[in-house]
Structure 1
Amino acid sequence: MRINEPNRTGMINSYNQSNKAQSAKGRTPMGKDEVNISSEALEMLKQVEDPQSPARREKVSSLKQQVEEGTYKVPSEKIAEKFLAFWRKR
């Protein structure tokens, strides 16, 4: 078995030369970044309450108080519904 084959370096050199030739001639200018928001996402944004609204602040303070007192109970049925809805979409 030969360790130093004479053709081995020739193959590597030809590979490197072909990569250099391809990268030199095929330069294309980069385009601009673009973000598209779907109509579904825009609809969801409309449904979200304003974080500064009094109703939202009251709801958050009520939930905080329940959590601190230990009286907040997570409805397992609603969690299961959300999981199912998520996995059905995929």
Structure 2
Amino acid sequence: MKINPLNNTNLNPYKKNIQKQQDVKNAGQPQDKLEISNQAKQLQGNNSIVEARQEKVDELKKQVQNGDYQVDPKKTAEKMIDFWTNRRL
């Protein structure tokens, strides 16, 4: 006489219910959607601020490389005091 073990791993009576729950969960969730307006696309295309900032950075780099860049200690100290006392302009 052959006795089969009770712990049969191929038999899961709850498998059908688990699968149903997952199907309902996946079907019920709406998909995220992102739409960018034409005006926003135009604003992204106009990078005049980025270009102006890059020009300023390039100019400062040239000054530093040439040794012409001078730091104003008074202005630096004022900005530090403003920052640490929360007096932002």
Q: Same fold (TM over 0.5)?
A: no
Q: TM-score range by the shorter chain?
A: 0.3 to 0.5
TM-score (norm 1): 0.39
Higher helix proportion: 1
Rg larger for: 2
